[in-house]
Structure formats: C-alpha cells, structure tokens
C-alpha cells in the first residue's frame, strides 16, 4: 500500500515532460486551482487552546473553517495526537491543503532550557545551537512545524520585560547567537522530521520600546536602526530563516506591522528574503489604536500592502480582504504572493506527501524529556551561570563547610526555574529546585538547614528571625533570591528592577551574622543590587535555568563545573542610569577622573560605571594575557590582519576563558562607540597551561555606516583591544587603516 502511494505521489509530482516538478511549479499548479476564499484562508492564523486536546483544542467554528479550507495555520495546539486530529479536518477540505502548526518554542519544549538571555551568557555558540536543536526535535515530534523564535531584538533597557527572550545588548553577539538558533531549529533543513521552521522576531525595533514599557513607541535614528537593531535580522536571513514576525511597536511613526519600508523594501528587496511573514498576535488590529488605520478594513489593507502576509488572530484578513479585492483596493496578486510563500513552506515540509508526517506518537514518546535532553539541559544551565563575585574564594564549596544553611524564597521553588516562556504547563515534577540540587550533591555528612526567610515580593518580615538563627548556626549560607517567573516577560515591564520586596533587607541581616554568604540571583533580567554586590561574599547570577536548574547550580557551587559565563547585558547600579550599555559614545566631555565630575558627562549622585559590565564574569581560576602580536600595524582597506595573544591559566583549576576582541575607530566621518565587540573565543585551558588565540581583522570588522549611510571602511587610526570584559581590557594596540 505504502509503495503504491509513493509511486502514485511521484507520478503526480512529475511535470508534462516527465521531470520531477520543482516546489515552485507545484505551488503554481496549486495556486491556479484555488479560489479567492481559499487563498485568503491560507493567510489566516488562529489560536487554539493549549490546555485542550484533540479536536477540542479549537472551537467548533474553527474546525468548520478548517474543513472548508479557510485556515492556513494554527498556533497553540500541540501533541502528536491533537495535531493529527486537527489535520484530519484540513484533509476534508476541497484541495486538502495541510495546516501548519506553530508554537512559541522559545527555550525548550518539554525539556526546558535556560531562558534565552541566560543561554546568551554562556557565549557558547555550539551549545546554544544545540539547545535549539533539541527543542526542535522535541516540538516537531509533537506535531509542531514552526516555532516563533528566535527573538533577535537587541535590548539596552532591562526595565523591558522581554529582555529575557533575546541575546542581550550587543549587536555582534546577538547576530551570531540568532544565526546559531536558526541553525539549531532548522537542523538539516525544513522538511527533516526533527526540524522546525524558525521565525525571526519582532521586526523591528521592539527592544527599543520607550522607557522600557512594553508595546511602547520607538524612536530610532536611521543610524541606530541600521547599526544596532537590524543586523541580527539580516544575519538570520543569511542563515536561511524560514519566517519573520512583525513587531507591535511603531517605528519612527509607522507601526512595524504596516511598515512597507521594513517589510518590503528592506526585508524582501534589499535582503532577498523569500519566507513567510506573520503579524504578531492581533497586531494588524492594533493599527487602529496606533492611529494608523481608521477601521479593520483599512488596517487589513495597509498591513497586507506593506508586506505583512499572515494575520495572527486579528481576524481582519478573513473579514476584509475579499471585499478589498472586489473594491479594487488590493490586487489579488498581492494575496497570491503571500500564499505562495506559505504553500512553499508546506511543500518543503513534505506535508503534501504526508500531512501527518510530524504527528508521530511513538517518536513523541521517545523524544520528549528523554535522558539525553535532560543531561544537556543541565550542561547548558551550568554554562549560563555567571560568577560575579567570589571574595576569599568561598566557592567552590569544600568539605570544610559541614553545616550549610539554605535560605530564601526561591530556594525550594520549581515553577520559577522554568521561566516565563514555558507555554505548556507540564507540571513541576521534573523540575529540580536549588534545594534539591544541593541536597543531592552535598557531600556525605553535610547538614542542610532550610529557612525561607521571606516571600518574593511581600513586606512580611516574620521569617527573618528564624533565617538569622539558621544562618548563625551554619558554616556557610546559600541564599536563593530574585524574581518570580512572571515578573519578567511579555507585558512585565518594571520601573524598579531591584530585588523585589524585602529580599535585600534579608540579605543585609544574613551578611551581618558574619558567616560566609553566597547569593544566587535568579531573574529574567538584570536587576539592581548595589548593596549586595558590595557586601555579599560570593554572587552567582543564575537567571532562570529551566528543568535542571538545581542540579546545574549545585554543579557550579561544588566546582564540578567551573563557571565561565559572561554577561550579555550590562547590570546597572540604578534605574536612573538606563539606558546603559558598553558601546556608548565618548562625548565631547568624557569623564576621565571619577573625583572630578565638574562640567563633564557624569552624574553628581552616581558613578557612570555599571555595577557589572557587558562581557564580565569570573572563573574559579585566573587567566593572564600576554604577547599581543599583530601581523602588521598598518592595514589596507581591503586587507586582513592577524592578531594573536597568549592566555595562561595561572590559577588552581582547569577552566574556560572568553577572550574578547574590541575595536574603536578613533576618528571618523561620524562619531563611533568607545569600543565594539568584534570577535571572541571561548577556550578551555588546563591549570598552568597556555593557549594562543588568533583573530582575523578585515574589512567586515572595520566597516561602518559612514556619513552618507554607506557601509565603508575609512582610513585612519583604530584602537584594538583584547579583554576579559568590556571594562577589563588587558592588551591594546593601535592600527592604522591606509589607502592602498
């Protein structure tokens, strides 16, 4: 039967010359058979209810529309059995065009990985790619074809709750990480049973929401747009990302969802993108409150003509496009183009051959949360933990700490470890809390004493006394403090990003006992914690680490893994410093002497410097840099130069170092940042050993948008910096770019 089917399919897909038809030809053939209603159907995307299974996952009305060929894709339905049952309805439609199933698979599906910002802290591109790979394998086995990730929005404002979803503040790092995630999700290519179509979002500028308030307006100069916000999107187009999602915000007066410049001029024409473009949830309808369209009809018209091809949940394409075509306001060809991009993906996935290809219950059972996936979740969680401080080498914990007190509102938490983007509520049974992780790992004979101390965000001090007693009776204190899972994420902007509630007061009380204190800080964003930074003995920034949080934390606390993460985003001292990022401009009155702030670019009530800079992070070992060598100190505009240096592990432990390369264009036709990350290498070096690191500097790294917004390399002096962090440059050299 199967063989017969395959032969029949092959025969059907041969063209009149007996050659195998290309996907484009098959798309054209199908398009020629479609009515206008069926075409409009393909560009509708509706949401299901992720708590329901089988056909009940969508309303009876949607089921009916699916059977009539009026729905192209669904989101928020998952599971092999459920997706299969819904696909059966699509097979009842006249042309049997299969549905696409989409889902926000942001940091894992069943096995939850660290939030994307945490993974970015690993600076481990292979691991980040693998995390997306595993997530894709799990989700695709549950019938999902398409993930709404990666988010590649650069963010310089930690008040914005969605900072957790991206790769932080830096364009270079963000571009590399975005591309890695696309590679991971799309694996061996769209159509492989373990791959998902990736989606670059939110196009564009969403990360610049004014005042860090979600959905707010953005006002971004052309220069900043092209230098800071657009490159990660361009990078994922080059990587072959299958889809794009428009952003909610308006950008310089034009909402991104109705922005022809972005969606057509830049994305399609300049970058040559050929995949699908979906609106964000209800964003077409939001063109009305934006003041960009007077009603749903105008909103639908403007969005489609701008290049927003799929309507996620605003129902405005469904209700207005036919009339707009009949009125002559929209040429049907525009709809055909949009449908073409969708059908292409459906063919690429192989859904016309087998609409149930991804709905494989056996594979789903074997894949979801399997042991290998869990082991990897633990590995990448440990890689995401940033060691911010380690006074007197409290860490790694040794056997001398017999009595260990475990304090804080997050110590026994499970749900918070999962972070904000865990769509399917799988229950907490497979999440390892910090307490459980430490309990499993603590050496025999160690005594653990727990006291919660306080809640995450109330003002109730009644637990302080017991927590202080517990601390006094121990050899070392470990505190798990921070945000709950729903304090950072979409629509979770904060004006006060300090440790919520009275948590820092509890830290003060515990530090006052004089015991060595290790503070674990858990959050989806950079928080402010100036007092803790100055007074706690050791600090680990653990973000939200996913299922294996507790085990990974224990791995780091006990030195089974030597921390090597680096901040992908600045941690400010106070909200008043925001926006604060490392690649700022020098200004005409730079602050040179912290003690002299008179009429220079400085605050009279705070240092300019952050609490912790971009690129910062410690290890249990120490590294020494030497022997900076450049193949030449003069470089022709089109030449490439080699830079080398030596890095020695001078501490007691084997460990990884992230060697960071920064450049500064000293004087140019427009002012340039004080430094920009242009390369990095994460290397493992055994205690006592030395390794050589090499970077190549060519025109790609030296170029920028000149005064005429033309990407170019200008002659002149550049400062080359190699450092352990953006504020810890250890080797410098001047280079001169010359005309050759």
Say whether residue 250 binds ligand BGC (CB under 6 A): no
List, by residue number, the catalytic residues: 280
242 or 563: whose CB is closer to ligand BGC? 242
Q: Is 286 in the site for ligand BGC (CB under 6 A)?
A: no
The answer to whether the bond into 407 is cis (omega within 30° of 0) is no
**In angstroms, rounded to a whole number, what is the distance separating the alpha carbons of residues 196 and 504?**
42
Of 256 and 411, CB closest to ligand BGC: 256
E strand intervals along 33-161 = 44-47, 73-75, 100-103, 146-147
Helix, strand, or coil (residue 674): coil
Contact 583/673 with Cβ under 8 angstroms?
A: yes
Closest approach of Cβ 667 to ligand BGC, in Å?
41
CA-based nearest residue to 279, from 314, 240, 318, 325: 314
Give which of 390, 498, 393, 501 is closest to 456, Cα–Cα.
501
Using DSSP bridges, classify how beta strands 447-451 and 403-407 pair: parallel, antiparallel or unpaired.
Answer: parallel
Please select the residue that binds ligand BGC; options are 157, 170, 227, 280, rule is CB under 6 A: 280
Q: Decide: 614 and 726 in contact? Cβ < 8 Å.
A: yes
Looking at beta carbons only, is 58 or 75 nearer to ligand BGC? 75
Residues 63-82 that bind ligand BGC (CB under 6 A): 75
The burial class, CB within 10 Å (0-12 / 13-18 / 19+), for 217 is middle
Q: Which is nearer to ligand BGC, 201 or 648 (by Cβ)?
A: 201
Binding letters toward ligand BGC, positions 693-722, x by CB under 6 A: ------------------------------
Query: Both tokens of residue 500?
Result: 């919520």
Q: Residue 267: name the closest of 217, 304, 216, 308 by CA.
A: 308
Q: Is 281 in the site for ligand BGC (CB under 6 A)?
A: yes
Give least dist CB 104 to ligand BGC, A: 5
d(CA 152, CA 203): 9
Kindly state whether residue 490 participates in binding ligand BGC, applying the rule CB under 6 A: yes
Which residue, 477, 518, 488, 498, is CA-closest to 416?
488
Beta bridge partners of 538: 390, 518
Nearer to ligand BGC, 104 or 504 (CB): 104
CB of 98 to ligand BGC, least distance (A): 21
Nearest to 725 by CA among 625, 593, 606: 625
**Sheet strands side by side (includes 641-649):** 623-630, 641-649, 690-697
Taking the complex as a whole, how short is the minimal distance between the CB of residue 296 and ligand BGC, in angstroms? Answer: 19
* Residue whose CB is less far from ligand BGC, 278 or 643: 278
State residue 529 phi and psi, 5-degree precision. -155, 55
Q: What number of chain residues touch ligand BGC (CB under 6 A)?
A: 7
User: Of 281 and 317, which has the nearer Cβ to ligand BGC?
Assistant: 281
Which residues contact residue 571 at a Cβ distance below 8 angstroms, ignoring those fewer than 6 apart?
158, 526, 527, 528, 541, 610, 611, 612
Closer Cβ to ligand BGC, 153 or 676, answer by number: 153
CB of 280 to ligand BGC, least distance (A): 5
Contact between 670 and 640 (Cβ < 8 Å): no
Q: Closer CB to ligand BGC, residue 75 or residue 190?
A: 75
Closest distance to ligand BGC from the beta carbon of 281 (Å): 4
Residue 256 or 325 having the CB closest to ligand BGC = 256
Minimum distance, C-beta of residue 279 to ligand BGC, in the bound complex (Å)? 10
Q: Which is nearer to ligand BGC, 159 or 363 (CB)?
A: 159
Question: Which CB, 65 or 104, lies closer to ligand BGC?
Answer: 104
> Which of 479, 474, 485 is closest to 463 using CA atoms?
479
What's the chain's Rg over C-alpha atoms?
27
Closest CA relative to residue 216, chosen from 152, 282, 289: 289
Strand-strand pairing, 690-697 and 641-649:
antiparallel
| Torsion angle of the four alpha carbons 369, 564, 182, 265, in this order, in degrees rounded to the nearest 10 | 150
Q: What residues between 144 and 163 interact with ligand BGC by CB under 6 A? A: 148
Q: Which two tokens stand for residue 152?
A: 């590649």
Nearest approach, Cβ of residue 201 and ligand BGC (Å): 6
At 135, list the tokens: 């997530």
> What CA–CA distances, in Å, run from 358 to 98, 107, 136, 183?
12, 20, 11, 19
Q: In this structure, what are the phi and psi dihedrals at residue 719, rounded to the nearest 5 degrees?
A: -100, 130
Before 204, cis peptide (omega within 30)?
yes
Which residues in the 620-659 window bind ligand BGC by CB under 6 A? none
The nearer residue to ligand BGC, 46 or 625, going by C-beta atoms, is 46
User: Could you tell me the two tokens for 425?
Assistant: 């509520």
Q: 337: closest CA among 27, 25, 35?
A: 27
What is the phi/psi pair of residue 251, to 5°? -115, 115
> Which element (helix H / strand E) includes 534?
helix 530-535
Kindly give the pairing relationship between strand 711-712 and strand 704-705: antiparallel
201 binds ligand BGC (CB under 6 A): yes
Report the residue number whose CB is nearest to ligand BGC. Answer: 148
DSSP character string of 170-211: -HHHHHHHHHHHHHHHHTT-BTBTT--B-EEEEETTGGG-GG
Give contact residues for ligand BGC (rule: CB under 6 A): 75, 104, 148, 201, 280-281, 490
């Amino acid at each position: 039967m199967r063989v017969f089917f395959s032969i029949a399919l092959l025969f059907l897909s041969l063209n009149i010359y007996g050659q195998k038809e290309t996907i484009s030809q098959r798309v054209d053939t199908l398009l020629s058979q479609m009515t206008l209603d069926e075409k409009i159907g393909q560009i509708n995307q509706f949401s299901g209810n992720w708590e329901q299974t089988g056909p009940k996952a969508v309303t009876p009305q949607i089921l009916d529309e699916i059977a009539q060929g009026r729905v192209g894709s669904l989101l928020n339905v998952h599971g092999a059995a459920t997706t299969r049952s819904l696909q059966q309805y699509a097979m009842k439609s006249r042309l049997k065009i299969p549905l696409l199933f989409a889902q926000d698979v942001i940091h894992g599906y069943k096995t939850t990985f660290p939030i994307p910002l945490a993974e970015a802290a690993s600076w481990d591109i292979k691991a980040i790619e693998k995390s997306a790979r595993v997530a894709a394998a799990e989700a695709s086995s549950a019938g999902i074809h398409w993930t709404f990730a990666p988010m590649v929005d650069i963010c310089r404002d930690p008040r914005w709750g969605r900072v957790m979803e991206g790769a932080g503040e830096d364009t270079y790092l963000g571009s590399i990480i975005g591309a890695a995630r696309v590679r991971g999700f799309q694996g061996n290519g769209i159509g492989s049973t373990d791959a998902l179509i990736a989606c670059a979002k939110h196009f564009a500028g969403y990360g610049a929401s004014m005042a860090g308030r979600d959905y707010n307006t953005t006002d971004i100069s052309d220069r900043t747009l092209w230098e800071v916000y657009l490159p990660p999107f361009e990078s994922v187009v080059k990587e072959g990302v299958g889809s794009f999602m428009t952003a909610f915000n308006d950008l310089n007066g034009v909402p991104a969802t109705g922005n022809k410049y972005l969606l057509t001029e830049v994305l399609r024409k300049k970058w040559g993108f050929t995949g699908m473009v979906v609106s964000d949830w209800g964003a077409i309808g939001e063109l009305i409150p934006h003041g960009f369209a007077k009603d749903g009809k105008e909103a639908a018209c403007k969005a489609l003509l701008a290049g927003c091809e799929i309507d996620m949940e605003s129902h405005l394409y469904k209700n207005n496009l036919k009339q707009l075509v009949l009125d002559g306001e929209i040429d049907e060809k525009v709809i055909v183009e949009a449908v073409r991009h969708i059908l292409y993906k459906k063919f690429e996935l192989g859904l016309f051959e087998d609409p149930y290809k991804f709905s494989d219950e056996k594979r789903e059972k074997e894949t979801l949360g399997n042991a290998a996936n869990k082991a990897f979740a633990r590995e990448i969680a440990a890689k995401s933990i940033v060691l911010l401080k380690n006074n007197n080498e409290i860490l790694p914990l040794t056997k001398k700490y017999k009595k260990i007190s475990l304090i804080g509102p997050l110590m026994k938490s499970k749900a918070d470890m999962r972070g904000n983007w865990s769509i399917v509520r799988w229950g907490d049974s497979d999440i390892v809390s910090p307490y459980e992780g430490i309990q499993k790992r603590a050496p025999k004979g160690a005594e653990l004493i727990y006291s919660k101390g306080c809640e995450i965000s109330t003002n109730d001090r009644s637990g302080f006394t017991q927590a202080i007693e517990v601390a006094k009776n121990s050899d070392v204190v470990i505190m798990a403090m921070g945000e709950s899972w729903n304090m950072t994420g979409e629509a979770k902007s904060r004006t006060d990003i300090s440790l919520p509630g009275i948590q820092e007061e509890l830290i003060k009380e515990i530090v006052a006992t004089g015991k060595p204190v290790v503070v674990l800080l858990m959050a989806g964003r950079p928080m402010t914690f100036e007092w803790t930074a100055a007074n706690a003995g050791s600090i680990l920034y653990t973000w939200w680490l996913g299922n294996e949080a507790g085990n990974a934390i224990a791995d780091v606390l006990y030195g089974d893994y030597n921390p090597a993460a680096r901040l992908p985003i600045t941690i400010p001292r106070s909200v008043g410093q925001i926006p604060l990022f490392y690649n700022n401009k020098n200004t005409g009155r730079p602050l040179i002497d912290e003690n002299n702030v008179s009429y220079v670019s400085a605050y009279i009530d705070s240092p300019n410097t952050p609490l912790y800079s971009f690129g910062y992070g410690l290890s249990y070992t120490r590294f020494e840099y030497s022997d900076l060598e450049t193949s030449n100190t003069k470089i022709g505009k089109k030449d490439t130069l080699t830079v080398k240096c030596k890095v020695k592990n001078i501490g007691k432990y084997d460990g990884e170092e992230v060697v960071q390369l920064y450049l500064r264009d000293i004087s140019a036709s427009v002012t340039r940042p004080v430094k920009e990350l242009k390369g990095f290498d994460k290397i493992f070096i055994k205690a006592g050993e030395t390794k050589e690191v090499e970077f190549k500097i060519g025109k790609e790294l030296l170029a920028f948008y000149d005064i005429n917004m033309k990407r170019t390399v200008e002659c002149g002096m550049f400062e080359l910096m190699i450092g352990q962090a953006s504020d810890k440059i250890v080797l410098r050299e001047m280079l001169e770019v010359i005309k050759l």
